[in-house]
Structure 1
C-alpha cells in the first residue's frame, strides 16, 4: 500500500515538472528568434521600414474636344396642313376638276355636285328681290307725295329684307354643292367618280400641304427646361438612308405626358424638293449646347462610388524618378464616344489611370506607367473625325 502511494506522488511531481518546463520554453521562444521573425517580415514586404513595390498602371492625359449636349428620339412626319374634303349636303357628282396626286391651288373648284334645283331657286329669289325692291321704291315715292301711308312703306321695306334673305339662302345652298381647295397643296387619291351619289360627310379626297413638313417627337421630361422654340435638330429617315435634314423647333406642348413622362415637340423641315412624305419614320437628334473646349478623359478612368465618382492621377513622388497616385473626386458632365466630360477636379494634360485601379491599395501608392503602342496617326485622326 505504501509503495503505491509513493509511485503516485512521483508521477504527480513528474507531470508538474514537465508542464513547468513547457511553459518556460514557450515563453522564451519569441525572444530567442528575433532574426528569424525579421527575416520573414522582410521577405513578405510587410516589415517595418520596407518600401512597397510599384504596381503597373496604364494612363491617359486629360484633353479637350468639342462636346455636344444632345438627345435622341424617334418621331413621325406630318403635313403642315391636311384636310379631307367632305360634302356638307347629299348630292350627285357631276364634275371632278383635279387628278390624283396633282397640285391644287387655294380656291380651285375640285368637285361639282348637281346644282340645277339650287340654281333655279337662286333665280327665283333674284326675281322676287327685284319685285320687292321696285315696290319699296314706288311706296317711297308715293309716301313723299302723300298718296300712301307710312305703314305701306314699312311693309315694303320688310318685304325687301325678306327677299334679300331668301336670295342669300338660295346662294348659300348652291355654294355647298361646289367644293374648293382650302389651301395650296397636293391632292391625294380620290375615292369617287363622276355620277356617284354621295351622302353628306362622305370622304372624297385628302389635300396635303407638304412644301414644308412637321416632325413630331417626344423627349424625356428632364429636357423640358432645355428645349426652346427656334432650336435646331437633325433628322434622319430610314426611307432616305445617308441623308440628314435640318429641323427647327416650332412648338412645345405645355403639358407633360403622365404616362410616358415625356414632353411633345413639333419641328418643321423645308421640303421644297418634295422628298419627304407624311407618315415617314424619323430619328431625331435634338441639340441643346456645344462646348468647343470641354475637358475629357476615357470612360475607363472613372471609378464609380455612388454619387461621388473619382479618378487616380499620376504625379511625381518624393524620390527622384518615382511616380505615385492621388485620388481626386471629379464632377462629370456629358458622355460621348467613349469619353466623359470633366467639369471639375482635373486640369488639361493631367495624367489619369485608365487600367490598374484595382491594384492601387491606397492614396499615394507608388506606380509604374506602362506605355501602350500608339495607334497610327491616320487611324487616330479618323476616330477623332468620327467623334466630331
Structure 2
C-alpha cells in the first residue's frame, strides 16, 4: 500500500513539472498586439491628440483658464471711528438748601417743566421775615438821624464828627437789612434755569439741613454725549465735526450730533481723548444717562476705486491682483492675465479700496487665481455662479473632442463671448 502511494506521488510531481516547463516556453504577447486583437472587430478610431483629455481650465495647450472677473468700480467710502459713551443733560443740577429749615411749600410737580426763577421749595421763613422788618426799622431810624444831623450841621449846631457818625450808623443799618433779606432769600429754593424737575426727595413738613438733596433739575432741550477716541485720531478731529449716535434703548433710530469740544489733555493711562458732542432733543425721546454708540465721520471719498476683496492675492507683505487684459484681434482667448501690485485703503462690506495700481473700468480676476501660473495666461471669463460647473467642463471638452473625431461638430461656446462682453 505504501508503494502505491509513493508511485502516485511520483507521477503527480512529474506531471506538474512538465506543465511548468511548457508554460515557461510560451511566448508573451505584446500589449499592442492584444489591443489590436480586441479592436479587430470594433470600429477604428483616430488617435486622440495630446491634451484632448485635459481639463478645459488648464493653461497653455490645455486651453484658457476659466475664471470669474469683476470690474473696478467707483463708490462712496466713509472712514468713521466707533466709540461708546453716555448722554448728559446740557445743564443739570441737584438743588440743595444752604441753611436749615422746615419745608412749608413745594412749587412744582414731579417730572414737569419749570421756568427760571420759579420757587420750587419754600422753607419756613417766619423768623427771617421778622429780622427783615427789624432791620428795616433800624435803617429808618438811622436814616432819619443822619438827615437831622446834616440839617443841624448846616446851622452850625453840631460838628462834622456827629454827621460822620450818623452816616456810618446808616451804612450799618443798610448792611443789616441786606443780610436779613439774603437770609430770607436762602429759604426760597428757585430754579436756576429752564428745565424739567425730577422726582422730589422731600415732602411738606420735612426738616432739612444744609446740603440735603431736594430735587434735581435737568435741561434736556439738547443733550451732550461724552465719549473717548484713541489719540491717533486727533489729527482728524475738529470742533463742528458730525457724528451719528445710536442708542440701544431706541433701536433703528440714529441721531445727528456735532462735536462741541475736545479735551486739551490726553488720558495718560488709556491714551485716549475725551470728546463732547451735542445733539438736539426736540422730541424729548432722549434722557440723560442713556448708553450711546457714536460713529464719528473722519473722512469721505465720493469717487474711490473699489474691487471685491476676493481679487486680492497677498504675498510677501504686499498685495497683488490679477488684471484681465483684453487682447484685441488675437485668435482664441480674448483675455490674458497680468499680475499687478496694488496699494489698498479702506475695507467696507466685502470691498477694498485701491489707491494705486488700477484704473476705473479695469477687469480683475476674483476666482481662479490658483490656476494662473504666469503672466499672459489665456483666460475664459465665466459668469458668477458658474464656478461650480467649471469642474464639469473638462469631461465636456473631452467629449466634444471625441465627437469631433467621429465627425460630429461640437457646439459653439457662445456663452463665453457673452460673459466676455459683460
TM-score under structure 1 length normalisation: 0.79
Residues 275 and 306 of structure 1, relative CA distance in 2, 3 Å threshold: farther
Structure 1 unaligned residues grouped into runs of 5+ = 1-41, 375-388
Larger Rg: 2
State the match for 1:338 in structure 2.
350
State the Cα RMSD in Å: 2.3
Q: Take 1:252 and 1:194, find their aligned partners in 2: how far apart are those partners?
A: 44
Residue 107 of structure 2 is matched in structure 1 by: 97
The Cα shift of 1:270 comes to: 1.4
Tell me, in whole angstroms, the C-alpha distance in 1 between the residues paired with 2:148 and 2:317: 96
SS of structure 1 residue aligned to 2:132: helix
2:273 counterpart residue number: 263
Aligned to 2:331: 320
Cα deviation per residue 1:23-59 (whole Å; 9 max; x = unaligned)? xxxxxxxxxxxxxxxxxxx99x9xxxx9565544322
Alignment of 1:214-293 (within 5 A): 214-293=224-303
- What is the Cα deviation at residue 341 of structure 1? 1.2
Task: Give the aligned partner of residue 165 of structure 1.
Answer: 175
Size of the aligned set, in residue pairs, is 328
SS at match of 1:225: helix
Q: d(CA) in 1 for partners of 2:93 and 2:269? A: 30
After TM superposition, give the deviation of residue 366 of structure 1 in Å.
4.2
What SS class does the counterpart of residue 194 from structure 1 fall into? Answer: coil
Q: Distance in 2 between matches of 1:198 and 1:241?
A: 43
**In the alignment, which of 144, 163, 175 is matched to residue 154 of structure 2?**
144
- Does 2:360 match 1:348? yes
Indicate the SS of the match to 2:174: helix
CA deviation map 1:73-94 (0-9, x unaligned):
2222111110000001111111
Rounded Cα–Cα distance in structure 1 between residues aligned with 2:358 and 2:244: 33
1:311 to 307, 312, 321: 321
Judge conservation of contact 1:52–1:366 (CA < 8 Å) in 2: no
- 5 Å-filtered alignment, 1:73-222, equals 73-222=83-232
Inter-CA distance 304–259: structure 2 relative to 1 (3 Å threshold): farther
Unmatched tracts of structure 2, length 5 or more: 1-49, 387-422
Q: With structure 2 as the length reference, what TM-score do the two structures score?
A: 0.73
**Residues 354-385 of structure 1: CA distance to partner in whole angstroms, max 9, x if unpaired?**
123334334444444333249xxxxxxxxxxx
Say if 1:142 and 1:214 are closer, same or farther in 2 by CA, change over 3 A: same
**Aligned residue for 2:384?**
372
Whole-Å Cα distance in 2 between the matches of residues 174 and 188 of structure 1? 25
Which string of whole-angstrom CA distances, capped at 9 and with x for unpartnered residues, describes residues 143-190 of structure 1? 111111111111111111111111111111111111000000000000
- Which SS does the other structure have where 2:359 is aligned? coil
The 1:215/1:362 distance shift into structure 2, 3 A limit, reads same
Secondary structure of the 1:224 match is helix
